[in-house]
Chains A and B, each alone.
Chain A
Amino acid sequence: MPVINRPNILLCLFDSLGVADSGLADCGLADSESAASDLAKSRLPDSTSGLSTLSQLYSKSARFDRTYSPCPESSPARASLFTGLDPGVHGLWTNGVTLSENENTFAQRLTQAGYSNYLAGRYQLAGVSRWTTEQARTNEFDHMDWAHGPLHRSRQNAYLNWLKELAPDHYAQLFPVQPNPEDTKATSLQRETLAALPDSLSFNYWIAERVEQWIDSQSPDNPFMAIAGFCVGDLLGTEPHAATDAETINSQALQQADVAIARLLESLNSSNRLGDTVVIVTSARGNADTKKDCTQSGVANHIDNALKETAIRVPLFFYGANIEHQIVSAPVSTMDIAPTVLSIAKLPIGPRTQGSSLLSVLGGETQPRAWAMSRIRKNTPSGERNWQTALVSGNLKLVVCHNEQQPENIKLFDLGKDPLEQTNLAGLEQHATDLEQMIDQMIDARCALEDRTEPRIAEF
């Protein structure tokens, strides 16, 4: 039997990092420099100087500049990322739904192939409200240090158990009372206390430390896959805002994650494992456009912004073993990550996958999909339906609101000329052809993403 040399895989998975946050000014899309810098400025008023690791990965890695999440909600997006299936197929259609045991994540596939798997931090393939613990799926991780976020008070929150033991005073300050499942909002005192923790006690540092320790414990003869589930949103694992679970970025947590990735890269390098390891940096979804998204008065604004580029466009970098710097600017989907991981691991992708491998795109063997669909199917607390579907293709983006058939509920943007999505072209006579073409393409995209994963094995 020939020995197949399977590389190690390190997935740095952010919860809510928009593409502009990861340190890019040039998004590979904008027609003019000024538009590109507008986009950058609108996202990162403090500049990206603090994010040296992400900036370096941005310029050194093979990166996909237009990677779209199929959903701006975290759990459906993660389910798609881990299964390679559209939310309409894996069935985890909104936060709080559990991914079916019938589905296999790429981690489960890797286990079957002999990989050792590890997760530290957030996973979220099931609901975690009321401080619920997320149940481990079968044959997925050899070990998991699960922690939905630094303020999520599940008894199994591995980070908090670590913090409690290492820094009991800080822990007591952070949580003066017992967890109450009816009260899952973060207090400002908690936020301040968390912010005042030394970096070495932060959630994202803890992740890097645990991942590093686990990798060090692995035999060099056996491939591993490790997931660093970073948390950089402002909710920190607590209850979403009333109107939306879109999060704004906690810049301190983001900087800590940036350093944490540097530490992991350095550790792989010093143990001579970087050459055998593919490092993937991405995010399940983007984030809220502005602070006002998350306030009660921002409900309408959120509905308006639910499928904006900031909410659904995420970074995607591949770095490490034999991967050269390369930029792909045609749209791809985070649904493509699962088949990519399988092909990195030299495994067959299998029929129950809708995404396609980006490795063959990087190798020049296939073209990227060049379109991506994203959707939200959420009802606001007042019962108002927020159901929208977006399609990007070329520079055009169509957003259809399924609530009423009003002309103003259809939006068409030219992302090349208008990256901030400020000018709706849908009602304009000169864009009537563009509009109908994008509607046609969205209908075809719906058809293309249906569940046809069961192979046809006979004529009838």
Chain B
Amino acid sequence: MASANKRPNILFICTDQQRGDSLNCTGASWAVTPNLDKLAGEGALFSHCYVQNPVCSPSRASLFTGKYVANHGLHANGVPLPARHKLFTRTLADAGYDCGMIGKQHLSPCDSWQTEPRFDDGYRVFHWAHGPNHRALENDYHAWLRKVHPDIYVKIFPDKGANENTAYSNKANTGTPIDHVKKEAHYSHWVAECAQDFIKQTRDQNEPFCLVANFFDPHHSFGAPQEFRDLIHLDAIPAPVTRDDELSNKPAEQTFYSETSYAGVAPGFQDYSDAQIREIRAQYWAMIALVDYEVGRILQALDETGQADDTLVIFTSDHGEMLGNHQQLLKGPQLYDDLTNVPLIMRWPNTIAAGQRIDQLVQWIDLPATFLDVAGCAAGQSVQGESLLPMLLPMRNQQQGQWRDWALSEYRDSGFTTDPQIMTTMLRHENWKLIIWHGSPATAGQRNGELYDLSSDPHELHNLFHEPSHATVRQRLKLKLLDVMAETEDRSFPQSRDW
């Protein structure tokens, strides 16, 4: 199959809960991310990549289906992905790609140690592990740990799993025991081990591969092996972004989410002292340093086997983390850049020019469209994103039409539920960010929302939504949002007849 060799391998590395600005190369000078910085230097770094939902499962569903949250139906964690969808990995497998998945998937409920059912996903290799503390029998990380480090496994998981462990890990602020094991026994290390094994040994040598390597880090519970914590200088990390009285002109729900996280399931920002918040932030970057180290090992496997030039490497994350900014922690209905802006690096030597920095607004659902594009597959009408290749390749750039000038992110009671349910919608457009806090369509009355001028207020500290001076721009953006909502409807069923 020499003719198929022109299609690159796709190595998709995705972390969990990693902020867009958390890398050294994206502005965190205190971050220890040499491998990712190098990767960015060798490829393209996107400064404005937005996810379509700020929590795991709905965001990942958008990635794998290529559809906006309103259309794929997995609107909240705990909702299974409706079976009617086709995953991009299935399309790649149909096109001959050797597909594998390692780590966290989360396209179906995982609460109560549930195992995710397999979809018609096209994976030949499937090493599933929802997280380091998740005690499904099918947790492949645990199976590996039991085999390779039985002493560690038995020490940390002495009994059969109880669901309280989830609550425990949600409440921890400096990690759980499994987060602090030596790096050779860590979940992130296991991901890299599996990826190395796939790249070096088990991949089909006759076909290009698509490997999805999903890290759980830097998802809370804010703990990393001590050697990585030792790399982080606590004093170099700035204090969280906020200002006096910041929440008084934000939607009232944000005060609630400051007092408590996950709608009451986890401690809130206000439960912690300043010192504790500082340590949480240090642990966060310790986890990122660990991820960077393990990503380095995966990339090394590509280099060692001479596959780097034939491989499109993508590094990104499914959503961000409040990390104390705006006096809030973890994630939820807040649609700050803290949660919606994620890192995105794409490296494909000799094809994507090195050192590019792309400032245009792009969306996570553009990734599956890009993968199908590089694999020579028709995206089909069901994928709503657009391939990023034209933006990256000088030859194709000239043919490119107008790139979309907006990004959309939608929270639909997606995290831990509240009564009444909270639904929020973010529109990024020009220098503006509009966030609607939805109410009932049956009732009139003033709505709550947020409006930020990111050119003068990049940290989203000053809510202009209710400012009379900004009434015109507010209305203009609301109408733009209505246009975007019409634009993003699912019209993927073909009009096969004229009438």
Contacts and interface: CB of A to CB of B under 8 A. Distances in A.
- Helix, strand, loop or mixed for chain B's interface? loop
Interface stretch (B30-38, B88-96, B360-368, B481-489): B481-489
B412 A447 contact: yes
B492 interface: yes
B496 A389 contact: no
B442 A127 contact: no
B438 A443 contact: yes
B221 to A, nearest CB: 14
Contacts of B265: 459
B78 A130 contact: no
A369 B77 CA distance: 28
Contacts of A389: 482, 486
A442 to B, nearest CB: 6
Given A91-B493, A387-B486, A446-B482, A456 B78 contact: yes
A393 B71 CA distance: 25
Contact of B412 (A89, A442, A445, A452): A452
A373 B480 CA distance: 18
Interface residues of A, number: 60
Contacts of B490: 88-89, 91, 93
B73 interface: yes
B457 to A, nearest CB: 23
A458 B111 contact: yes
A207 B190 CA distance: 68
B428 to A, nearest CB: 16
Contact of A128 (B109, B111, B499): B499
B482 A439 contact: yes
Contact of B436 (A89, A128, A129, A443): A443
Interface in A212-268: 239-240, 245
Interface string B61-89: 00000000111111111111010100000
A391 B441 CA distance: 9
Contact of B478 (A94, A370, A439): A439
Nearest to A373: B441
> Which of B69, B444, B492 has the most CB atoms of chain A within a 10 A radius of its CB?
B444
B423 A447 contact: yes
A132 B412 contact: no
B475 A453 contact: no
Contact of B494 (A97, A448, A456, A458): A97
B78 A458 contact: yes
Interface in A376-421: 377, 387, 389, 391, 393-394, 400, 402, 405, 410
Given A440-B478, A444-B441, A92 B70 contact: no
B126 interface: no
B73 A451 contact: yes
A441 B482 contact: no
A88 B489 contact: yes
Given A453-B73, A454-B82, A458-B111, A96 B442 contact: no
A65 B495 CA distance: 33
A457 B499 contact: no
Contacts of A128: 497, 499
Given A96-B497, A441-B444, A443-B478, A454 B73 contact: yes
A80 interface: no
Given A88-B489, A405-B483, A439-B475, A459 B441 contact: no
Contacts of A369: 442
A95 interface: yes
> Which of A132, A410, A441 has the most CB atoms of chain B within a 10 A radius of its CB?
A441
Given A88-B490, A402-B482, A460-B110, A454 B79 contact: yes
B5 interface: no
> Which of A89, A91, A450, A453 has the most CB atoms of chain B within a 10 A radius of its CB?
A450
A369 B443 CA distance: 10
A405 B406 CA distance: 15
A400 B489 contact: no
Contacts of B485: 443, 446
B425 A447 contact: yes
B370 to A, nearest CB: 24
Contacts of A440: 439, 444, 446-447, 478
B252 to A, nearest CB: 17
> Which of B69, B445, B493 has the most CB atoms of chain A within a 10 A radius of its CB?
B493
A445 B441 contact: yes
B479 interface: yes
A460 B111 contact: yes
A457 B78 contact: yes
Contacts of A394: 444
Contact of A450 (B75, B82, B487, B495): B75
Contacts of B483: 402, 405
A439 B483 CA distance: 12
Contacts of A91: 490-493
Contacts of A130: 497-498
Given A132-B497, A389-B482, A454 B74 contact: yes
B439 A93 contact: no
A126 B441 contact: no
A361 B490 CA distance: 31
Nearest to A409: B479
A277 to B, nearest CB: 33
B499 A127 contact: yes
Nearest to B112: A458
Given A91-B492, A95-B499, A454-B82, A437 B475 contact: no
B436 to A, nearest CB: 6
B418 interface: no
Contacts of A88: 70-71, 489-490
Nearest to B84: A102
A375 interface: yes
Contacts of B481: 443
Interface string B336-350: 000000000000000
Interface in A136-167: none
A245 B495 CA distance: 15
B416 interface: yes
Nearest to A460: B77
Nearest to B476: A405
A460 B76 CA distance: 8
Nearest to B492: A91
A100 interface: yes
A457 B439 CA distance: 24
B114 interface: yes
A457 B79 contact: yes
Closest 10 CB pairs of A and B: A127-B497, A458-B109, A445-B441, A458-B111, A450-B70, A458-B78, A96-B497, A460-B77, A129-B498, A444-B441
29 contacts: A91-B490, A96-B498, A97-B495, A127-B496, A128-B497, A129-B498, A370-B442, A371-B441, A375-B486, A377-B491, A393-B442, A405-B480, A410-B479, A437-B444, A440-B446, A443-B436, A443-B478, A443-B481, A446-B485, A447-B412, A447-B423, A447-B436, A448-B438, A448-B441, A450-B70, A451-B75, A459-B77, A459-B417, A460-B57
Given A94-B495, A459-B417, 11 more contacts: A93-B490, A97-B496, A373-B441, A402-B482, A437-B444, A437-B445, A441-B441, A444-B438, A448-B438, A452-B412, A457-B78
